Amino acid sequence: MFQSVSSVIFDMDGVIIDSEPISQKVVHEMAMARGVDLPDQIHRDYVGAKTSTKWAFIVESYGWKDDVMRLTAESDDRYLELIKTSELNPIDGVLELMEAIYQMNKKMIVASSASRYNIRLVLDKFGLSNYFDQFVSSEDVKHAKPNPDIFLKAAQQLKSRPDECLVIEDSKNGVLAAKSAGMQVIGYQNHRSGNQDLEAADHVVNHLDEVIALIQD
């Protein structure tokens, strides 16, 4: 179905590991400590976006005096501690998918709204670093998803044209960013990431093992 794909770009949270519930739990608990029970819609709307962007919205919406960057740093620290100590495993089917792409001699890269440290932590923790020589984080671009910058940067690092790249994303923000970058997109319907609207994707799958057949030459 997907033609002339030389490079595959993976989102991380929600595609490689099921970390969105952890991220949401941290933000929700911090808000509750300040007397605010955040609605689920806020969590859904900011899946795939930078944590600081989410906090900026919350601070403005509820009239808090808290510094956005301090909130972001605190939530990042809590998130990292939970990732380090959790029983998380890679999402079902992702290891087989990476190995299949490797055997097809296609290039792979991670493009995530997470920080460089978070990305490296996850890749090393789950033994995935051998598949990825490079990655792009939110720290490497001026504008995060749903802006296309992060995916265009990934294509540049791989020395691939955008139309040769296939992106695997689980969030509305990520899908919109990839389409804006002129790339082909598979939406992975990960229900632990919330009920994400992936209709802008070229194809939607419910399990990552469906992706292999779609990209075989």
CB 122 within 8 A of CB 17: yes
pLDDT at 59: 97
CB 203 within 8 A of CB 187: yes
pLDDT at 217: 61
Name which of 2, 5, 7 is nearest 154 in CA terms: 7
CB 15 within 8 A of CB 168: yes
Instruction: Indicate the pTM of the whole model.
Output: 0.88
Per-residue pLDDT of the chain (217 residues; tens, 9 = 90+): 777 899 999 999 999 998 888 888 999 999 999 999 999 999 988 888 889 999 999 999 999 999 999 999 999 999 889 888 888 889 999 999 999 999 999 999 999 998 898 899 899 988 899 998 789 998 999 998 999 999 999 999 999 999 999 999 999 999 999 999 999 999 999 988 888 999 999 999 999 999 998 987 6
Give the Å distances, CA to CA, from 217 to 1, 106, 162, 169, 213: 9, 11, 18, 21, 9
CB 192 within 8 A of CB 17: no
Strand partners, 76: none
pLDDT at 14: 92
Residues, the chain? 217
124-161 pLDDT per residue, tens: 988 899 998 789 998 999 998 999 999 999 999 999 99
SS3 107: strand
